Amino acid sequence: MAEEPAGRDKTVGSMTVPAANERPSRLAAAQRVVLSGWGGNPRSAADVIRPGSLSEVVPMLAEMRERSRSVLARGLGRSYGDAATSAGSVVIDLTGADRVVRTDGAVVTVEAGLSLDALLAWSVPKGWFVPVTPGTRYVTIGGAIASDVHGKNHHREGSLGGWVRSLRIATPDGEIEASPDGEHADAFWTTVGGMGLTGVILEASIEMIPIETSLVSVDTERATDLDECMRLMSAGDAGYRYSVAWVDCLRRGRGLGRAVLTRGDHASLAELESAPKKPRSVTPADPLAYSPRQLARVPFEAPVRLATLPAVRAFNEAWFRKAPAHRAGELQPLASFFHPLDFLGDWNRLYGRHGFTQYQVVVPFEAAEVVREIIEQLGRSGFPSLFAVLKRFGPANKAPLSFPAPGWTLALDIPLGRAGLAELLDRLDGIVADAGGRVYFAKDARLRPQLVRSMYPRIGDWQRVRDRLDPDGVFTSDLARRLHLLGDTT
């Protein structure tokens, strides 16, 4: 779709405010803002509109189509790369649409801009937890569904899309009510994991899971190297609802991939009552108490990159040594287990102005050696990864662009700004693709389009339904343009 020229806009700092007389109607309320993902790089400017209510979205889309303006929905911008940015487009910020609409037994219907943070604050004291949570609760429900996010329970319970019972989706032609097996099932599965390119999710009905306490009973083990870590996970994960390993990526030789493995499940009331050591905040009299706090915030972008090789090495050493060699049944608050990074607000600023990328891949179980290869090559090249996380995925769902597939998934935060990284990651992409694996779009800012079709072989099915939902090509993003997701992915 051809973009309307940006016009004579007024610049205020990094923000440019469009002249109202040149942009009548809904665009008059738009603000030109430079946006990025959580990794801070790349950045691009778009006209951001915040609808006052969800009823404004369909007319807004129709108007943008008329004006030949492309559109993208955005949540809390926690995708790392360029999934939620779109140079020169109209970006609809959904975060004002944040109501719990209704409940029906375990199923809660919410507006798409509601954050997981707000949903949990509402649901945990009532005895309900979200069926799938990513490693931060500062994501919106719409953004989480559009990325089909996974959590520490994927090996047993799949990704978020499998728990969504219906979606209300806005297109320029009107609204669609889509469900996984019923009406508009193809629109449903194209939108789940569809990275905002099929329409704007307005509301979602999600099946929640019951909990008796706001605690998780956690078993911790240290693994001396990657082989031991994988052995422990393969042998024991089926017995745990949640499982994740933090891996030290800077060790070489013996001890390569040493790890701290944490696994657990929601603690029952009986476990809380009989526990010799209980967290202060949750008692048998108030077992669902829940008040997670941010302990500190990084106030500004670090002038120099703080995640340097020696700093990361020291952190890894301390983190590994602090973990018990073996501990069973420790009761941890939900936030400590699921969202430890959220205790420090705006921690992405620690990476300085160059920002960072998260490299997350999944490879089939038979290709476990690729995980070792990635860790070895990064270690050898001296690219420090502060947080490296290893998980096992279970079966994939029906969404053609959903990331999870059976196998090992490794996620690494890597600082940008040093020569050689792009070439190294390009090489690793090739190894991952050859092994039948893929890169996660929600974390990506640098994959080459040539690899998309082999990594996401069902993309043709996705494009056919998407083209039907958006025949005029209203929706796009920087990610979609970079990876040619809307066509020509050869």
Ligand X SMILES: Cc1cc2nc3c(=O)[nH]c(=O)nc-3n(C[C@H](O)[C@H](O)[C@H](O)COP(=O)(O)OP(=O)(O)OC[C@H]3O[C@@H](n4cnc5c(N)ncnc54)[C@H](O)[C@@H]3O)c2cc1C
> Which residues would be at the binding site for ligand X (CB under 6 A)?
38, 72-79, 83-84, 94, 112, 134-136, 139-140, 142-144, 146-147, 149-151, 195-196, 200-201, 341, 442, 477
Contact by Cβ (8 Å): 245, 223: yes
* All residues at 6 or more sequence positions from 143 whose CB lies less than 8 Å from its CB, including other chains: 74, 75, 76, 78, 79, 84
Question: Least Å distance between CB 115 and ligand X?
Answer: 7
Question: Least Å distance between CB 260 and ligand X?
Answer: 17
Question: Least Å distance between CB 424 and ligand X?
Answer: 22
Report the residue number, 27 or 144, with the smaller CB distance to ligand X: 144
Report the residue number, 256 or 483, with the smaller CB distance to ligand X: 483
Question: Least Å distance between CB 114 and ligand X?
Answer: 10
Element (H, E) at 425: helix 421-434
Report the residue number, 287 or 407, with the smaller CB distance to ligand X: 407
Question: Least Å distance between CB 482 and ligand X?
Answer: 12
User: How many Cα atoms occupy the beta-carbon half-sphere of 92 within 13 Å?
Assistant: 34
Residue 314, both tokens? 């020291």
Nearest to residue 213, comparing CAs of 343, 341, 337? 337
CA 384 remoteness from chain centre: 21
Report the residue number, 84 or 288, with the smaller CB distance to ligand X: 84
Contact by Cβ (8 Å): 248, 320: yes
* All residues at 6 or more sequence positions from 304 whose CB lies less than 8 Å from its CB, including other chains: 352
Question: Least Å distance between CB 275 and ligand X?
Answer: 27
Report the residue number, 193 or 384, with the smaller CB distance to ligand X: 193
> Distance of CA 256 to CAs 259, 371, 373, 382, Å?
9, 11, 11, 14
Question: Least Å distance between CB 147 and ligand X?
Answer: 3
Question: Least Å distance between CB 236 and ligand X?
Answer: 20
Q: What is the C-alpha to C-alpha distance for residues 203 and 169, in angstroms, rounded to an integer?
A: 7
Query: Roughly how many angstroms between the first and final C-alpha of the chain, as a whole number?
Result: 21
Element (H, E) at 216: strand 215-223
Q: What is the C-alpha to C-alpha distance for residues 240 and 162, in angstroms, rounded to an integer?
A: 19
Report the residue number, 70 or 214, with the smaller CB distance to ligand X: 70
User: Which residue shows structure tokens 């030290």?
Assistant: 248
Pairing outcome for strands 296-297 and 71-74: unpaired
Report the residue number, 124 or 169, with the smaller CB distance to ligand X: 169
Report the residue number, 341 or 350, with the smaller CB distance to ligand X: 341
Question: Least Å distance between CB 411 and ligand X?
Answer: 7
425 backbone dihedrals φ, ψ, rounded to 5°: -70, -35
Contact by Cβ (8 Å): 258, 320: yes
